[in-house]
Amino acid sequence: MLLKRPLGIAMQFARWIADLDWRFILLVLPPLSLLLFLSISSPANPFSNLAPLRSILLNRTLPRGAVPAAANLSAAPSAPAVAPRPWKDELDRSRIAVCLVGGARRFELTGPSIVERILKVYPNSDLFLHSPFDENAFKFLLLKSAPRIAGVRIFRPEPMAESAPELRVLTASNSPNGIQGLLQYFNLVEGCLTMIKSHQARHNFTYDWIVRTRVDGFWNAPLDPDNFIPGHYVIPPGSTYGGLNDRLGIGDLPTSTIALSRLSLIPQLDQAGFRQLNSETAFRAQLNTQNVTHLTKRLPFCIVSDRQYAFPPSRYGVPVATILSKGPLSGAKCRPCTPVCRGACVGRVMPVLDKGWSWTQWENGTLELCDAHGEWETGWEKIFDRVAGKALAKQRKGVWRLKVKDCVSEFEKMKRRTVSWEAPAADEMCKVGLGYAR
Ligand SMILES: *[C@@H]1O[C@H](CO)[C@@H](O)[C@H](O)[C@H]1NC(C)=O
Ligand SMILES: *[C@@H]1O[C@H](CO)[C@@H](O)[C@H](O)[C@H]1NC(C)=O
Ligand SMILES: *[C@@H]1O[C@H](CO)[C@@H](O)[C@H](O)[C@H]1NC(C)=O
Ligand SMILES: *[C@@H]1O[C@H](CO)[C@@H](O)[C@H](O)[C@H]1NC(C)=O
Ligand SMILES: *[C@@H]1O[C@H](CO)[C@@H](O)[C@H](O)[C@H]1NC(C)=O
């Protein structure tokens, strides 16, 4: 089954330029990558051994609506004789892994919102962070106030081997890096699943739920318990780029295991005849071929982006929301800006966008747009602080006032609270980040 590709190469290229922030990972660190490439010959694909995963996939025989045995959540829905407890109480008694992936670029804006509106809302949840090391990694110390930190892995990115199935299944989108960008991103996501599995194995339990999202998401409202639906994978609507929005996903362990197995399922997509997929179309193919049903639910976060986009957006352009928008923005791109387009203007601009591409829900005044063709406007900090509130604003400012010594001691504190820690020395992350060792 070949994916329909209504778009020309120019569109693919436009999207390459316009959308995929994670591809910066490679651009930001070319000297390092090159060095590692020269010193390490053909790094092994860490997921080439499919045996454990396959067993999980083959054993995925839960009926629709069932929950994993360990969850013990089915008691309420299936036993109406017992007064059903609110779902949130059930979730508070279950085991939740929150997986954050991506680079820390503007984490001083997004991190505290993730802590407040996801992690502290589910104080029983275990945080897993999987991120490439760069000069912004020191900002991850903002996670020190997370209720529970199970795993932190901040790694030095290196080029990944490209297998024949990967080269067939994935699109290079005219990129000078070929499919590296996609592979690096898939590795970030699946690496988080690997961390979760190893934590489960080491501590002899399994999670009931995995919440997977990105470090560059700004949350303006709490994650609602309604988004945890047994037997289904929940994703936001919009920003589908021909497939499914892959900026966040929530599911039980079986569905999440499939959703996060972005590298190891590629051979199966290859066998099924899929070709030239981007991240979103590969994601859809992955869920469909494994019989995972997804549900879309609007979610109150946007992806904070420094990218510049033409305004007004064309059919395949990208709308950029102001972070002041009421939302829910379901993972649309945003920045702190004075809106140039609201109300009736949004009603004129948004219907132009292709519904199967970068379109996002905009009705009823939930979305207000930025003219994002240039840099962030002067005074963006005030706009951010207005929407973020005092406590988050304080954290944003605090990061840049840190001295190396304090940065290191904060990191050490966070490390002591973390079950599994794999990262460059705090001293290095802090010095590189705060500009003492470039
Ligand atoms: C798969 O499930 C069967 C029956 O439930 C069990 O005997 C077997 O050990 C499972 N395999 C793996 C690899 O978990
Ligand atoms: C499931 O819940 C019931 C009632 O809350 C409890 O008696 C039982 O021990 C639980 N089972 C497991 C496996 O936790
Ligand atoms: C893991 O847990 C199960 C049931 O909770 C128990 O039967 C088993 O002995 C435990 N295994 C280890 C290695 O602790
Ligand atoms: C998915 O469902 C189809 C049709 O019911 C079935 O043939 C196929 O084996 C299933 N695939 C998996 C991975 O369960
Ligand atoms: C907008 O509001 C109207 C009237 O309340 C409602 O019927 C409609 O579903 C809303 N649209 C969206 C996308 O929420």
Closest-CA residue, ligand 4 atom 13, reads 290
pLDDT (0 to 100) of residue 261: 98
Phi, psi of 298 (to 5 degrees): -70, 135
* Ligand 4 centroid – CA 292 distance (Å): 10
For ligand 4, residues with CB inside 6 Å are 290-291
333 and 279 within one domain: no
In a domain, 421, yes or no: yes
Please indicate, yes or no, whether residues 251 and 309 belong to a single structural domain of this protein.
Answer: no
pLDDT digits (tens, 9 = 90+) for 224-257: 999 999 999 999 999 999 999 999 999 999 999 9
Contact present, 353 and 359 (Cβ < 8 Å) = yes
84 domain residue, yes or no = no
Pocket flag, ligand 5, residue 363 (CB < 6 Å): yes
Q: Give the pLDDT of residue 183.
A: 96
- Give residue 87's region: left, alpha or beta (phi > 0; psi -120 to 50): alpha
- The CATH number of residue 122's host domain is 3.90.550
Residues in the ligand 2 pocket, defined by CB under 6 Å: 72, 75
Are residue 369 and residue 413 in the same domain, yes or no?
no
296 with 312, same domain: the answer is no
Q: Comparing C-alpha atoms, which of 215, 236, 243 is closest to residue 328?
A: 236
Query: How far is 388 from 380, CA to CA, in rounded Å?
Result: 12
Number of domains in the chain: 2
Whether 205 and 326 map to the same domain: the answer is no
Task: Pick the atom of ligand 5 nearest to 361's CA.
Answer: 13
Whether residue 315 sits in one domain with residue 248 = no
Smallest CA separation from ligand 2 atom 8, residue: 72
282 in the same domain as 171: yes
Q: Per the domain annotation, does 327 fall within a domain? A: yes
pLDDT of residue 46: 39
How far apart are the CA of 252 and the centre of ligand 5, in A?
30
What pLDDT score does 54 carry? 37
- The rounded Cα 407 to chain-centroid distance in angstroms is 25
Nearest CA to ligand 1 atom 6: 59
Query: Whole-angstrom Cα distance, residue 196 to residue 126?
Result: 9
What's the pLDDT score for residue 9? 43
- Looking at the structure, do residues 279 and 313 belong to the same domain, yes or no? no
Establish if 132 belongs to a structural domain. yes
For residue 347, tell me if it sits in a domain: yes
**Residues 240, 356: one domain?**
no
- Reported for 201-206, long-range contacts at CB under 8 A and 24+ positions apart, including other chains, are 205/70, 205/95, 206/68, 206/70, 206/95, 206/253
232 CA → ligand 2 middle, Å: 23
The range of the structural domain enclosing residue 120 comes to: 89-300+402-431
Residues of the chain whose pLDDT is less than 70? Answer: 1-85, 174-176, 437-438
> Which atom of ligand 1 is least distant from the CA of 59?
1
Query: Residues 6 or more apart from 32 whose CB is under 8 A from it?
Result: 156, 157
Residue 176 is predicted with a pLDDT of: 65
CB 289 within 8 A of CB 60: no
pLDDT computed for residue 82 by the predictor: 54
251 domain residue, yes or no: yes
The residue among 190, 359, 350, 406 whose CA lies nearest residue 279 is 190
375, part of any domain: yes
Q: Where are the beta strands (DSSP E) in 5-107?
A: 96-101
152 and 183 both lie in a single domain: yes
Q: Answer yes or no: do 371 and 281 share one domain.
A: no
pLDDT tens sequence across 38-93 = 433 333 433 334 334 433 443 333 333 334 434 444 444 444 455 555 899 999 99
| Type of residue at 181 | G
Residue 159 lies in a domain: yes
Same domain, 330 and 344: yes
